[in-house]
A = this chain, B = another copy of it.
């Protein structure tokens, strides 16, 4: 069937590209599957910082822990069950805290293809 269910244990985590912190991403649906969006899980060790300029529109749902997302305009904090929307083109600093954090993410279009192209 084409409907799919994923748990975080289905993700093969890899270090976020261009980063040396303990921040990992694991796609469960992406360009290999033929659709327009990438779906995955993110895992942040405690007290990590990730800086990036978004090559795609990125939606993050916090599953466990707490993250902040900062831009030059300010900072938002998000915890379990909350959503952070980061439109393409924004430059963000994402921080985890003592607990670390797990997230689910959806990007449009595929972030891996957009990263390779840039």
A→B interface (CB under 8 Å): 1-8, 28-29, 35-37, 39, 41, 57, 59, 61, 63-64, 69, 71, 73-74, 76-78, 80-87, 90, 92, 102, 104, 106, 108
Q: Which of B4, B6, B37, B82 contacts A5 (CB 8 A)?
A: B82
* Contact of A85 with B36 at beta-carbon distance under 8 Å, contacts A61-B61, A61-B104 already known: no
When A2-B90, A3-B86, A76-B4 are in contact, do A63 and B37 touch as well, CB less than 8 Å? no
CB pair B82 A7 closer than 8 Å? yes
16 examples of A-B residue contacts, CB within 8 angstroms = A1-B76, A2-B90, A3-B76, A3-B86, A5-B77, A5-B78, A5-B83, A6-B82, A7-B82, A29-B85, A36-B57, A36-B108, A41-B83, A81-B102, A81-B104, A108-B108
Chain B residues whose CB sits within 8 angstroms of the CB of A63 once the complex forms: 61, 80-81
> Is the beta-carbon distance between B64 and A81 smaller than 8 angstroms?
yes
Contact of A83 among B6, B81, B108 (CB under 8 A): B6
Chain B, Cβ-Cβ closest to A8: B81
